[in-house]
A and B are shown apart, each in its own frame.
Chain A
Amino acid sequence: MVRRVFLSPLTMLGLFIVVMIVILAIFAPWIAPNDPLQVNLGQKLLPPSSEHLFGTDEVGRDILSRIIFGTRISLKIGFLVVIIAFPIGTILGAIAGYAGGAVDQVIMRITDIFLSFPGIILSMSIAAALGPSIENVLLALAVTWWPWYTRIVRSSVLSIKNSEFVESARALGASPIRILIKEIIPNTIGPASIQASLDLGFVILSAAGLSFIGLGAQPPSPEWGAMLSSSREILRDAWWSATFPGIAILLTVLGFNLLGDGLRDLLDPKNR
């Protein structure tokens, strides 16, 4: 099973990108050549050179350093949103699927309400209502993301709750909670965790989007979306100011997606 990860070149590429990003995030202070917040008006809008590999922005900050520190913000949002949304969605989905009846109806109709808004619109309105800050973006994204896990988990619970091993646990006298925790959830966590790994990329993209329209990270924070946003007005004179943060977002999302796809192929029982 482990060997197959190494056989798929795209999965390997995804894994490589993700590992690089994590390393950059952890060791940012040592890797980054400059202070990401250091304003130096004498060096503003310098094109890429050996001194500033990715050039400098409109107040003379080193773009490479800002992108490196930006990995911290993006990863933090990505992981925290999934860490909050995943258990909420999983537990609600498992309860809805297992209990059925009125409980199922209530949970799933609430889920439907969340799913009936386009995710980005819903998170925009929540972020806007709470006020612009990175923590509120995090909250807004978590609120829009859990229903997806609820759906996935509920459907896999439905498919296994009538299986013979669950029936056997009931025949042995196991309580519903025990059956849920020991029999059902371990068998539904696979598909949901693949979704989670795919979501990391999309959460990061959405967070960048919210920051771009000013609802997320605020200046001078080196958040990629915010960097893109502030480079809008100077795009004609300084192509590097938008290009490199854009590439950073692209690579991150691509990395997580490739990894998630690889995991899905790996865990798909049909491929075993």
Chain B
Amino acid sequence: MSLLEVKELKQHFTIKKGFLGEKKIVKAVDGVSFKIEQGETLGIVGESGCGKSSLGRTILQLIKPTSGVIHFQGRDITHLSRKEMKDVRKEMQIVFQDPYASLNPRSTVRTILEDPLIIHGIKSRHKRMDIIEGIIDKIGIRKDQLDRYPHEFSGGQRQRIGIARALTLSPKLIIADEPVSALDVSVQSQVLNLMDALQKELNLSYIFISHDLSVVQHISDRVAVMYLGKIVEIADVDELYQNPLHPYTKALLSAVPLPDPAQMKERIILQGDLPSPVNPPSGCPFHTRCPQATPECKAEIPELREKSMDHWAACIHVQPGQKQSIRTSIS
């Protein structure tokens, strides 16, 4: 049984435009399916506006999905009431992008960390403090800093406090929504190493949402590439980075700067902008920018298919078994 299984998840937002209220539908997440096991990290990459964050929030039921099913520990959590959902929330938590916006500026660190425990009915103050002290010890915040306010901390410290808050309820799954993209590079690695260490110690699963391909490569076991609300490719991290199948993944990877410019492949420059999710292209959503697009791409929506062992891509031009490479094993 997978820890989390998402099937055909859709998140459509209705927006009104103009005075007459013409209704438009934004398909932020449009039929996403994947599984994640205990202790595993799934990286989700894509451009701004491709629906990565909406996907994270939908899994957490911060926004109710339009359709689709989310199984968490084998239980369908899509139709739970707020009260029923409360128990599930102990098991899955979120870490946000902006460490300045994700902590209440008027609460001390102690309150921020204690609140989740109060909400979940741990009545003994003594017990709460025990839990908090155990966690801050792991994330490198000192006990005498507990009564300070968020603005007294640096960005990296604040992000660690955000991680500590997510950990207070000892969850199994943490959805990290661009957790390091607001931080300096030196601090990024600190936070990533911390997340790595915590994963090993607590056997956590992460859904790691990011637009930074290097960061995702570093932390993930498996990676899903999203484009306009759909997963276009999903595979183990080494397989995906060494043998990308989908033209979009290829374009993304060709844009990653390498330390040695001689090793850089020729960059695939995509033409145009990300199409509006209000009015997505017909057929394959990527055909408007795809260098390999043919007339069939306009007509047919490609399904996500297993092209080689555990390597799925949604492109009609990628034949199964094509470009098989020796799979490098991952830990």
Which residues of A come within 8 Å of B, CB atoms? 163-165, 167-175, 178, 182-183, 186-187
Q: Which of B76-95 contact A (CB under 8 A)?
A: 82, 85-86, 89-90, 93-94
Q: Which of B103-139 contact A (CB under 8 A)?
A: 103-107, 115-116, 119-120
Which residues of chain B have C-beta atoms less than 8 A from A169's C-beta? Answer: 115
Which residues of chain B have C-beta atoms less than 8 A from A174's C-beta? Answer: 115, 119
25 CB contacts below 8 A, A to B, read: A163-B101, A164-B98, A165-B103, A165-B104, A167-B94, A167-B96, A168-B94, A168-B102, A169-B115, A170-B62, A171-B60, A171-B62, A171-B94, A172-B93, A172-B115, A172-B116, A173-B85, A173-B89, A173-B90, A174-B115, A182-B115, A186-B104, A186-B107, A187-B105, A187-B106
Chain B, interface SS category: loop
| Shortest CB distance B320–A (Å) | 40
Give bound CA distance, A259 to B115, whole Å: 36
| Shortest CB distance A104–B (Å) | 16
Interface: B97 (CB within 8 A)? yes
> With A164-B98, A171-B62, A178-B119 as given contacts, are A183 and B93 in contact (CB-CB < 8 Å)?
no
> With A164-B96, A164-B98, A167-B62 as given contacts, are A172 and B106 in contact (CB-CB < 8 Å)?
no
Which residues of chain B have C-beta atoms less than 8 A from A170's C-beta? Answer: 62
Contact of B101 with A186 in the complex, beta carbons under 8 Å:
no
Proximity bits, B142-162, A CB within 8 Å = 1, else 0:
000000000000000000001
Q: Which of B50-81 contact A (CB under 8 A)?
A: 57, 60, 62
Which residues of chain B have C-beta atoms less than 8 A from A171's C-beta? Answer: 60, 62, 89, 93-94
Q: Taking CB as reference atom, which chain A residue is nearest B92?
A: A171
Going nearest first, the 7 A-B pairs with the smallest beta carbon separation are A164-B102, A173-B86, A173-B89, A164-B96, A186-B106, A164-B101, A165-B104
Contact of A168 with B165 in the complex, beta carbons under 8 Å:
yes
| Shortest CB distance A172–B (Å) | 5
Give bound CA distance, A178 to B116, whole Å: 11
Partner of A165, one of B60, B86, B101: B101
Partner of A172, one of B57, B105, B169: B169
Which residues of chain B have C-beta atoms less than 8 A from A173's C-beta? Answer: 85-86, 89-90, 116, 119-120
Work out how many contacts link A and B, with CB atoms closer than 8 A. 55
> With A164-B96, A164-B97, A167-B96 as given contacts, are A172 and B102 in contact (CB-CB < 8 Å)?
no
Beyond the given A164-B101, A182-B107, please list 15 additional residue pairs across the A-B interface where CB-CB is below 8 A. Answer: A164-B102, A165-B101, A165-B103, A167-B57, A167-B96, A168-B165, A171-B89, A171-B93, A173-B120, A175-B82, A178-B119, A182-B115, A183-B104, A186-B107, A187-B105
Give bound CA distance, A173 to B89, whole Å: 6
Give bound CA distance, A64 to B96, whole Å: 63
Give bound CA distance, A174 to B62, whole Å: 12
Give bound CA distance, A167 to B96, whole Å: 9
Q: Which of B161-177 contact A (CB under 8 A)?
A: 162, 165, 169
Q: Taking CB as reference atom, which chain A residue is nearest B89?
A: A173
Q: Taking CB as reference atom, which chain A residue is nearest B104?
A: A165
Q: Taking CB as reference atom, which chain B residue is nearest A186?
A: B106
Q: Taking CB as reference atom, which chain B residue is nearest A176?
A: B82
Give bound CA distance, A53 to B98, whole Å: 64
| Shortest CB distance B157–A (Å) | 16
Which residues of chain B have C-beta atoms less than 8 A from A172's C-beta? Answer: 89, 93, 115-116, 119, 165, 169
Q: Taking CB as reference atom, which chain A residue is nearest B102?
A: A164
Q: Taking CB as reference atom, which chain B residue is nearest A165?
A: B104
Contact of B93 with A187 in the complex, beta carbons under 8 Å:
no
| Shortest CB distance B207–A (Å) | 13
| Shortest CB distance B73–A (Å) | 16
Give bound CA distance, A168 to B89, whole Å: 11
Which residues of chain B have C-beta atoms less than 8 A from A186's C-beta? Answer: 104, 106-107
| Shortest CB distance A47–B (Å) | 56
Q: Taking CB as reference atom, which chain B residue is nearest A163?
A: B101
| Shortest CB distance A272–B (Å) | 9
Q: Taking CB as reference atom, which chain B residue is nearest A185?
A: B106
Give bound CA distance, A124 to B185, whole Å: 64
> With A172-B119, A174-B119 as given contacts, are A187 and B104 in contact (CB-CB < 8 Å)?
yes
| Shortest CB distance A94–B (Å) | 15
- Of A163, A175, A187, the most chain B CB neighbours within 10 A belong to A163
Which residues of chain A have C-beta atoms less than 8 A from B104's C-beta? Answer: 165, 182-183, 186-187
Give bound CA distance, A171 to B82, whole Å: 11
Q: Taking CB as reference atom, which chain A residue is nearest B106?
A: A186
Give bound CA distance, A186 to B57, whole Å: 25
Q: Taking CB as reference atom, which chain A residue is nearest B117?
A: A172
Which residues of chain A have C-beta atoms less than 8 A from B89's C-beta? Answer: 171-173
Q: Taking CB as reference atom, which chain A residue is nearest B96?
A: A164
Which residues of chain A have C-beta atoms less than 8 A from B98's C-beta? Answer: 164
Give bound CA distance, A48 to B17, whole Å: 70
Proximity bits, B270-309, A CB within 8 Å = 1, else 0:
0000000000000000000000000000000000000000
Give bound CA distance, A260 to B93, whole Å: 42
Give bound CA distance, A163 to B62, whole Å: 13
Which residues of chain A have C-beta atoms less than 8 A from B102's C-beta? Answer: 164-165, 168
Give bound CA distance, A174 to B121, whole Å: 11
Q: Taking CB as reference atom, which chain B residue is nearest A167?
A: B62
Give bound CA distance, A181 to B101, whole Å: 18
Which residues of chain B have C-beta atoms less than 8 A from A187's C-beta? Answer: 104-106
